[in-house]
Amino acid sequence: MTDSAGIPGGAGAGGGTPPPPPVRRRRLLRWSCVGASVLVLGGAAAGWWLYSRLDGNITSDTSAEAELRRYERERPANLATGSQNILLIGSDSRSGKENATYGTDKGTQRSDTVILLHLPADRKSATAVSIPRDLMSDIPSCLRPDGTRTAAQYAQFNWSFEWGGAACTIRTVEKLTGIRVDHHMVVDFGGFKKMVDAVGGVEVCLEQPVDDAAAKAKLPAGLHTLRGEQALGYVRARHSLGNGSDTERMQRQQQFLGSLVKKVQSNGVLLNPARLVPLLDAATSSVTTDPGLASLRGLYELVRGVRDIPTDQVKFLTVPRRPYPPNPNRDELVEPDAARLFEQLRMDRPVTVTPPTPQDTSEPGSGTASERPSAAATEPAETSAGTGTAPAPVPTFTGTTAGPADCR
């Protein structure tokens, strides 16, 4: 007897036997394929959602790009193919909920932290040069937020950001150094805290306690893992540490960034999705960049190029400078040392750094490399192929490299 489907022994009112093995296998295979497809599509959808979210987090600074295009003919060329120069700007803007706790938003912002990051074409090292906020500089005519323009003048460096934002600061740096700035990033207080928290905090060693009400920092001496508010207070603190100079504050910022670089390069961050995704989320939502970097792909290409640089080849230093004679509370460049540093970076040539000595920070505004780079510039460079001539020595400046906190 057969059922209506013609299958011998088919199910009827009283039940029946299950389908033969080939039929069951086909059904199982069909459902397995459906399940796999759902998982693949679900994973792809989740991946696309995450990518879109991170990519959409980044703020593109189109106004700075337009202003820089206006003055393109005045800007220096990048003389070393493959190298990149990125200007990192810390903003003290009080706009937004996360920054409002630090003061009233008056519609203006200043920058006490500006670092020129040079990435050579071979990506075997990185050099981060701090530019003092009080350095006397030629600031060009810049576009204000209200549409008016400032007059070109000789003034302290950080006024450039207050007057004309990133574009004015970039043009001032290029005029000062002769180095083409390829990209820029602006990070505010809230963004800095989010990135530090995303990596699980950063280790620092305090040789003395910190108690700075203005920076909202109070910490005992010793080794600390600083997060969010504490980390921000530490890098902002000035009057309660050392001699209260901007010199020492920049050195602390450089040491902190060195520890942050080491933490980000560690497997605990880059190979841990639970840490990496929050870091990407924090980083992309915390920065304002030029359009060339304002995408997850752009930032990824940047990170991919520097992630394998050894920490002892991530170098931090400050431009050689000394007190400005008409006003000792301001700085001026020390020449020819500053020109030599700028030329090395401009031509994508190496520099080396040595730790600061007590005399480097003996008084406010005293130079880091300014007193002794020439005397220390004796490290030989590689011999130029086929020239038969001795190469120029690699200049050495006072500075530090990325590395672990040292608390002895």
386's torsion region: left (phi>0), alpha (psi -120 to 50) or beta? left
The string of pLDDT tens digits covering residues 20-40 is: 666 666 666 665 555 555 444
Helices (H), 58-121: 62-70
Q: Which of 140, 138, 142 is nearest to 176 (CA)?
A: 138
In this prediction, residue 235 carries a pLDDT of 85
8: pLDDT strictly greater than 50? no
Burial zone of 197 (CB within 10 Å; 0-12 exposed, 13-18 middle, 19+ buried): middle
> What is the identity of the amino acid at 212?
D
Q: Which of 299, 342, 317, 288 is nearest to 76 (CA)?
A: 342
Residue 290: domain span: 58-379+394-401
In this prediction, residue 241 carries a pLDDT of 62
In a domain, 317, yes or no: yes
pLDDT band at 93 (very low <50, low <70, confident <90, very high): low
In a domain, 35, yes or no: no
* Averaged pLDDT for residues 49-65: 77
In contact, 84 and 127? CB cutoff 8 Å: no
In contact, 112 and 158? CB cutoff 8 Å: yes
Selected residue with higher pLDDT from 379 and 68:
68
In a domain, 328, yes or no: yes
Selected residue with higher pLDDT from 191 and 67:
67
Q: Please, what is the end-to-end C-alpha distance for the chain in angstroms?
A: 92
Longest Cα–Cα distance of the chain, Å, equals 113
* Averaged pLDDT for residues 389-395: 69
In a domain, 145, yes or no: yes
Q: Which of 258, 259, 295 is nearest to 280 (CA)?
A: 295
User: Which residues are registered as beta bridge partners of 114?
Assistant: 89
CATH code for the domain of 303: 3.40.630.190
Burial zone of 311 (CB within 10 Å; 0-12 exposed, 13-18 middle, 19+ buried): middle
In this prediction, residue 407 carries a pLDDT of 67
* Averaged pLDDT for residues 166-195: 93
In this prediction, residue 244 carries a pLDDT of 53
The string of pLDDT tens digits covering residues 221-250 is: 888 899 988 888 888 877 556 555 677 788
Cα 388 from Cα 379, distance rounded (Å): 19
User: β-strands 314-318, 126-130: how paired?
Assistant: parallel
The answer to whether the pTM exceeds 0.75 is yes
371: pLDDT strictly greater than 60? no
Selected residue with higher pLDDT from 50 and 76:
76
In this prediction, residue 91 carries a pLDDT of 83
Among the residue ranges 92-96, 131-135, 159-163, the one predicted with the least confidence is: 92-96
In contact, 309 and 123? CB cutoff 8 Å: yes
User: β-strands 222-226, 84-90: how paired?
Assistant: unpaired
pLDDT band at 94 (very low <50, low <70, confident <90, very high): very low
pLDDT, the chain, mean: 78
Count of domains forming the chain: 1
In a domain, 384, yes or no: no
* Radius of gyration of the chain measured on its C-alpha atoms: 28
Asked whether the CA dihedral 141, 144, 150, 154 is positive or negative, the reply is negative
* Averaged pLDDT for residues 200-218: 81
> What is the identity of the amino acid at 206?
L
In a domain, 17, yes or no: no
In a domain, 7, yes or no: no
In this prediction, residue 340 carries a pLDDT of 95
| % of the chain exceeding 70 in pLDDT | 70
* Averaged pLDDT for residues 370-383: 40
In this prediction, residue 96 carries a pLDDT of 47
* Averaged pLDDT for residues 101-129: 79
> What is the identity of the amino acid at 332?
E
Cα 329 from Cα 326, distance rounded (Å): 9
In this prediction, residue 286 carries a pLDDT of 79
Selected residue with higher pLDDT from 99 and 15:
15
Residue position matching structure tokens 């999705």: 273
- Dihedral in degrees, nearest 10, Cα atoms 286, 292, 87, 180: -170
CA 401 to chain centre: 15
Burial zone of 126 (CB within 10 Å; 0-12 exposed, 13-18 middle, 19+ buried): buried
In a domain, 77, yes or no: yes
73: pLDDT strictly greater than 50? yes
100: pLDDT strictly greater than 70? no
Question: Is 129 strand, coil or helix?
Answer: strand
Query: What tokens does 297 get?
Result: 């792909």
Task: Count CA within 13 A, CB hemisphere, residue 56.
Answer: 6
The string of pLDDT tens digits covering residues 278-323 is: 777 887 887 889 998 888 788 778 877 787 899 899 999 999 999 9
Cα 83 from Cα 78, distance rounded (Å): 8
Which stretches of 157-271 are assigned E, i.e. beta strand?
A: 183-187, 202-206, 210-212, 217-219, 222-226
The string of pLDDT tens digits covering residues 314-363 is: 999 999 999 999 999 899 999 999 999 999 999 999 999 998 775 554 44
